[in-house]
Amino acid sequence: MGQPAADAQVTGVCYLNGEFLLLEEARIPVLDRGFIYGDGVYEVIPVYGRRPYRLPGHLARLRRSLDAVQIANPHDDGQWAHLFDELVARQATDDQSLYLQVTRGVAKRDHAFPKGVAPTVFMMSNPLALPTREQVQEGVRAVTATDNRWYRCDVKSTSLLANVLLRQFAVDQGAAESVLLRNGFLTEGSASNVFVVKNGRVATPAMSHLLLPGITWEAIAELALRHGMPFEQRDVSEAEVREADELWLASSTREVLAITTLDGRPVGTGRPGPMFERMYGLFQSDKRQPAPPARHA
């Protein structure tokens, strides 16, 4: 056998059902419902200086996702936080991207929920691969696509086939993200939230079942409010997306990035705008704060 392709190379210490072990040694039974049905939920938590960023927000979203799919939360918040610390401490780098997944567990294949089955808990933490300096300074390309996903996009489900296809649609056109439109309105990106800026005002779709409540999105909303940037959560039409002065995308692994080309046409001046630069700076200082600000109820 030859060497595996770079993308297939996996290493590092992970966590599976109570045990820390090498990723290449971790195994789940083929009848795990995560494998058979994508029957599970997940989280991605950025870790800066070995501290999970906005941990309460991620834990709250995990609880909401588990509740939505009726999987009992296998741990309380304190136990999760302890497991994250243990996993993070076992990695070489200070800045990491912590991934965790909870599936409904292993059972004979049948769509309906099995009884008396323990959820599968898997976690890994990789070096945080942030956007390059060039991507931050120049912005990235994006394409629009029809949002053809289900009506529970607020659940951070491991059933990501539609998102995978939508991201590949962008990659096939040399773009970093697809910006999704449903019935003439912006929802989000294939793996990010999206903001438009017009005449110095930032707008983003309000949270609903049609999009994921991003933790980075929440951070940006909070920072905009705290620093007096005009900010609205409301429906954003396709026309507003196409005529924006600035477009941003936001996610845990991409932070906040300017989209400077949409469907091959420049967004605004075709360069990251002044509002982006301000928010990027605010985000950079927020992520290194020793204690995250208290969350709103």
Ligand X SMILES: Cc1ncc(COP(=O)(O)O)c(C=O)c1O
Residues 59, 124, 202, 212: which binds ligand X (CB under 6 A)? 212
Catalytic residue list contains 156:
yes
41 binds ligand X (CB under 6 A): no
Residue whose beta carbon is closest to ligand X: 214
Q: Which of the following is catalytic: 108, 156, 198, 287?
A: 156
125 binds ligand X (CB under 6 A): no
260 binds ligand X (CB under 6 A): no
204 binds ligand X (CB under 6 A): no
Residues 23, 28, 36, 44: which binds ligand X (CB under 6 A)? 44
Residues 88, 102, 191, 210: which binds ligand X (CB under 6 A)? 191
Query: Token digits for 96?
Result: 């990491």
Q: Which is nearer to ligand X, 107 or 123 (CB)?
A: 123
Query: Token digits for 217?
Result: 């999105």
215 binds ligand X (CB under 6 A): yes
Q: Which window, 1-9, 70-78, 120-128, 250-258, contacts ligand X (CB under 6 A)?
A: 250-258
Q: Which residues are catalytic?
A: 156
Interacting residues toward ligand X by CB under 6 A? 44, 163, 188, 191-193, 212, 214-217, 250-252
